[in-house]
Chains A and B, each alone.
Chain A
Amino acid sequence: MYSKEELQQGLVTRVIGRKLFVFDTIDSTNACGKTLGDAGTEDGAVIIADFQANGRGRHGRFWRADSGKNLLFSLLLRPSLAKDTSGLLTFYASVSIARAIESLTGSSIECKWPNDLLLNGKKCCGILLENSFQQHELSYSVIGAGVNVNQLEFGEQLQTKATSLAKELHAEFDRKQLFQKILQEFDTLYVDVQKGNFVRILEEWIIRCKMLGQMVTIAQGQNTISGTALRLKDDGGLIIKTTDGNSTVYAGDVTIVA
């Protein structure tokens, strides 16, 4: 259980989390973020819940997180961005959360294109971004994240892919402390986002990314693309060198070929 006073105590941010909505149980923090977005709630509002009854991943996939052990939150942002940079919010979210986890635990976080955070090669944080567009104008963006903090069981299907900070580092972590660090990192980098300057964010993301220069396969529905992951394009697309030349990828599940 969180208390709003406790979560905001000592939190020094400019925009992010100045308005905070705290729930014991909610259907989905992202769904709530979108409702607030439609209702005109201010830039930087944050929704946090101890438990999500209907947590969602991509395409409505269910996201399971045990009550009281993880961090589940969403940010509502209203940056004024050029149309081709809205996709870079993915990297903004990844770098902000990676910075916070590294500062709390002292362990390195790896970024995998486009938005996975790995600890010891396993996923410890899922991010779901939802943008709302009217014509070419971004009305708002909701960044939802689930950080596995102290959960130790992931079920048979996920245990080879998913992990938590506690499981990898053999210690329990203070969720409130991590939450505040995350909001502070989001707030620091938001200065760049508001200016439309993603240089620092992309540089930091690339430092944490181990797949550049490696052979990868990308599954896109029925199709698979194989090649060497070369670099990021300015809009966040991944440039792959294939036998037919270079191509830029914007979707798909990436696997590094050993």
Chain B
Amino acid sequence: MDLAYVKKVIKLVEKSDVDEIEIEEEGKKIRVAKHRNSQAVYQIPNLSLPAQPVGAPALPAASQTAEIPPPKTEVKYHEIRSPIVGTFYRAPAPDAEVYVEIGQEVKPGSVLCIVEAMKLMNEIESDVEGKVVKVLAENGKPVEYNQLLFLIDRA
């Protein structure tokens, strides 16, 4: 079960009507699942560090902590997606301040951005309380229907 095989399975699931598939082969198991609803959650599983190969030189403790990020248990981000096709704007006017910065706390009803279509300004509001962790669209650029615009950390 190599990387090419895994990629092939992902593509197959993407194209098919199957939402989830689990394959077990020679003691190795993979599970590929589609997240279709807007409440999808990103999960970063426990990272287990590879075992130190026998005979490899031991790394000094300081550089080890600098190079390997601390294992995260589980990070869940709330997604804000575009309800329409249009142009993405982070501010109400070209010389105005952006609605939200990365790291900013938002509440349900806080305006995050505008998506303009046919000169209709669509204000996209947050539906949750949390902190903006990522802006995934570029100011002034087109966005597609259901395109991911923001990730919000509800923790």
- On A, residues with C-beta under 8 Å from B are 38, 58-61, 83-84, 86-87, 89-90, 113-115, 127-136, 138-139, 220-221, 235-237, 250-251
Nearest-neighbour CB distance to chain A for B148, whole angstroms, equals: 13
Bound state CA distance, A59 and B114, in angstroms?
10
**In the complex, what residues of A have CB within 8 A of residue B126's CB?**
134
Task: Check: B56 CB closer than 8 A to any chain A CB.
Answer: no
A129 in complex: contacting residue of B85, B89, B120, B127, CB < 8 Å: B120
Q: A132-B125, A237-B85 are in contact. Are A58 and B119 (CB under 8 A)?
A: yes
Q: Report yes or no: A136 in contact with B83, Cβ–Cβ below 8 A.
A: yes
B142 within 8 A of partner (CB): yes
Give the interface size class of chain B.
20 to 34
Q: Do the beta carbons of B120 and A87 come within 8 Å of each other? A: yes
Which residues 98-155 in B have Cβ within 8 Å of A in the complex?
Answer: 108-109, 116-127, 140, 142, 145
Contacts of B43 in A (CB 8 A): none
A237 to B125, CA, bound (A): 24
B92: interface (CB < 8 Å):
yes
Q: Are A237 and B118 in contact (CB under 8 A)?
A: yes
B64-117 residues at the A interface, CB under 8 angstroms:
80-81, 83-87, 89, 92-94, 96, 108-109, 116-117
Given contacts A83-B84, A220-B87, 12 further A-B contacts (CB under 8 A): A60-B93, A83-B83, A86-B122, A87-B84, A114-B118, A128-B121, A129-B120, A133-B123, A235-B85, A250-B142, A251-B86, A251-B87
Closest partner residue, chain B, to A58 (CB atom)? B119
| With known contacts A84-B84, A136-B38, A59–B93 Cβ distance under 8 A | yes
Give which listed residue, A38, A129, A138, contacts B121 with CB less than 8 A. A129
Can you name 27 A-B residue pairings with CB atoms under 8 Å?
Answer: A38-B109, A58-B116, A60-B96, A86-B120, A86-B122, A87-B118, A90-B120, A115-B119, A127-B119, A129-B121, A130-B120, A130-B122, A131-B122, A131-B123, A132-B125, A133-B122, A134-B109, A135-B127, A221-B140, A235-B85, A237-B85, A250-B85, A250-B87, A250-B117, A251-B86, A251-B87, A251-B119
Nearest opposing residue in chain B for A132, CB measure: B123
- Report if A134-B118 is in contact (Cβ < 8 Å); known contacts: A84-B84, A84-B145, A250-B86: no
B28 CB to closest chain A CB (Å) equals 38
Question: What is the CA–CA distance of A115 and B118 in the complex, to the nearest angstrom?
Answer: 8
Residues of A within 8 A of B84 (CB): 83-84, 86-87
Chain B residues near A58 (CB-CB < 8 A): 116, 119, 121
Give A232 Cβ to nearest chain B Cβ, in Å: 10
The residues of A that contact B94 with a CB separation of less than 8 Å are 59-60
Least CB distance, A222 to chain B, in whole angstroms = 9
Q: How far is the CA of A130 from the CA of B124 in the complex (A)?
A: 11
Q: How far is the CA of A58 from the CA of B93 in the complex (A)?
A: 8
Chain B: minimal CB distance from A113 (Å):
8
Q: Within the assembled complex, what's the spacing in Å between the Cα atoms of A135 and B119?
A: 20
Q: Distance in Å from the Cβ of A56 to the closest Cβ of chain B? A: 9
B92 contact from A60, A127, A136, A139, Cβ within 8 A: A60
Bound complex: CA A220 to CA B96 (Å): 20
CB distance from A34 to the nearest CB of B (A): 8
